[in-house]
Chain A
C-alpha cells in the first residue's frame, strides 16, 4: 500500500507542473495587469514610475524567467507578496484555506448523512411513489443554484429570525458554537447539489448491488433482510459513492466561492475573486494552485481509500 501511495504521489509531480504552467501562462498571456489597474485608479503615476514598479514587481522579466523564479519561490514555500496590499500571500491564504475546507467538510458531512439513507430507501422501495418522489426530489436538488439558496436563507433568517451572519470569522477551536452558527447555513447551501448527487448515486449502486449473486446467496441462506441490506449490499454500494464524493469536492469549491461572497466569509473563493478583480497575479496564481493541489490530494486520498474498501483494486 505504501508503495502504491508513493507511486501515485510521484505521478502527481508532472500533473502539478502542468497545472502551474497553465495557471502562470494564462495569467501572463491574457490582457491587462495590475499596473493597468493602478494606472486606472491613480492618475498621478507617470510612465517612468510605471516602469520602475514593473521592474520592482518582476513583471519586466521575460515570462519564462518569471515562471522559474516563481516556481523556485513556491518550492521553498514562499508564494510571494500580494501585488496589491503587499501582504505575504502565504498569510492571506493561511487565513482563507481553513474557512473553505471547513465549509467543504461540513457540507459533505451534512449531505452524506441525509442523502445515503434516502438513496437506500429509494432503491429498496424501487418503483413505488416514494422512490419516484425521491428521484424527482434529487433532480430538483441538482437544479437549485447554491447562490440562490444562500440568498433565500439570508432573506428568511434576517426577516423572520432577525439573524444576520457575523462579519468576523470565528475559528471552530475558539468557539465551536459560534463557529457552527456561522458555517451551517452556507454549508447546507453548498451541500444541496451534492446531496442530490449522492442520493442518486446511492440509489443506482444499491440497485446494482442488490441484483448481485452474493446478495441473493445471503438472502437464500435465510439472513434477515436488514442484515443483508447493511452487511452485504450497502457496504459494497458505498464504494462508488465515495469516489463520487471525492470528485464532487472540486465542484463544491466552485459553488463555495460564490456562497462565501454572499455570507461574507473570507475563504479561498472570496480571496481569489478579489485577486482576480485586482489582477493580483501572485495571489491568484498561488490561490488557484493551492486549490488545485488540495483537489488533487483529495482525489488521491479517495483512490487510496477505495483500495482499502475494495481489496480487488489494491494491487492496481
Chain B
C-alpha cells in the first residue's frame, strides 16, 4: 500500500519539477526567436508609452490650441487634426484605450470561457454536452458582427465595447480550454492524484490549471491582437470609446473626411493599430514556436 502511494507521489512531484524546468527553457527559447523578440519589444514599448503617456506626449490630447489641419512638422510630429489638436499626443494617449479595452476584453473572455471550459472538460457528461452546444451556437455567429450588434445595442461606450468583445471571444477560450483539459485528464498524474484522494478543487488547481497554461498563453496573445483590431473597428464605427477621448479607430474615422487635404491624418492612426497588432501577432507566433510541444518536436 505504501509502495503505491510513494510512486504516486513521485509521479506528481516529477511533473512539477519538469514544469519548472520547462518554464525557463521556454523563456530562453523565446529570446532566441527573432520574431518573438521583436513582438515582445513592440508590446513592451507600447505598454511603456501608455503608462507614461503624460510624460511622452508633448501636448494635452484634448488641447484645442493650434492651427487646424497642419501637416507634420518639428512642432507637431504628426500634424494637427480638424480641431487643432496635436495628432502625435492623441496617438500616444490612444494607446491607453487600445491596450485597456484589448486586455480587459480578453480577460473577460479568459475568465468566462476558461471557467466554462474547465467545468465542461473536468466534469464531462451532460453538463459538457450542454455547454458545448451553447458554445457552438455562439460560434455560429460571425464574430465581429456579433460584437457590433452587442456593442450597438448596449450603447456605444468603452465599457460596452469591452463586454461585447469579451463575450464574442469567450466561446473560443471555452473550446480550447475544454480540449486541453480533456487531454490532461487522461494523464497518469491525474489518476495518481485521484488515487491519493485529492479533491476536485485541489486537482483542478494543482494539476489541471498549470498544465493548460502553455496553450492558454498563446491563445491570450493571439486574441489580444484580435481584440485590439476589434476595438479599433468598433471605435471606427462610433461604437466604442466616445470622443473627445482619443482612440485610434475613431481618429481614423474622422480622418476620412479630411484625408484628401491631409493624408497624414489617415496614415498615422492606422499605422499605430497595425504596429501594436503586429507586435502581439509576432509575440504569439514566437510563443507558439516555443510552447507548442507538437511544433517543438519538429
Contact = CB atoms under 8 A, between A and B. Distances in A.
Q: For chain B, what secondary structure do more than half of its interface residues adopt (helix, strand, loop), or is it mixed?
A: helix
Interface string A14-37: 110011001100110011100000
A253 interface: yes
Nearest to B144: A254
13 contacts: A15-B136, A22-B138, A30-B154, A139-B281, A140-B274, A142-B277, A148-B266, A250-B143, A250-B145, A255-B144, A276-B149, A276-B152, A288-B141
Interface string A123-144: 0000000000001100110111
Given A139-B285, A143-B229, A250-B141, 7 more contacts: A26-B150, A30-B154, A143-B278, A145-B273, A147-B233, A254-B144, A292-B140
Interface stretch (A66-74, A85-93, A150-158, A169-177): A150-158
Contacts of A279: 153
A136 B285 CA distance: 10
Interface of A: 14-15, 18-19, 22-23, 26-27, 30-32, 135-136, 139-140, 142-145, 147-148, 151-152, 154-155, 158-159, 207, 250-255, 257-258, 261-262, 269, 272-273, 276-277, 279, 284, 288, 291-292, 295-296, 299
A243 to B, nearest CB: 14
Contacts of B229: 143, 145
A234 to B, nearest CB: 20
A97 to B, nearest CB: 13
Given A30-B154, A276-B152, A292-B140, A145 B270 contact: yes
B46 to A, nearest CB: 13
B204 interface: no
B155 interface: yes
B225 interface: yes
B134 interface: yes
Given A18-B137, A139-B281, A145 B233 contact: yes
B141 A251 contact: no
Interface in B141-163: 141-150, 152-155
Contact of A254 (B143, B154, B281, B285): B143
B150 to A, nearest CB: 7
Contacts of B155: 31-32
A272 B136 contact: no
B259 interface: yes
B141 A152 contact: no
Given A145-B277, A261-B237, A152 B267 contact: yes
A193 B118 CA distance: 31
Nearest to A284: B149
B35 interface: yes
A151 B140 contact: no
Contacts of B19: none
Contacts of A144: 274
B274 A143 contact: yes
Interface string B181-198: 000000000000000000
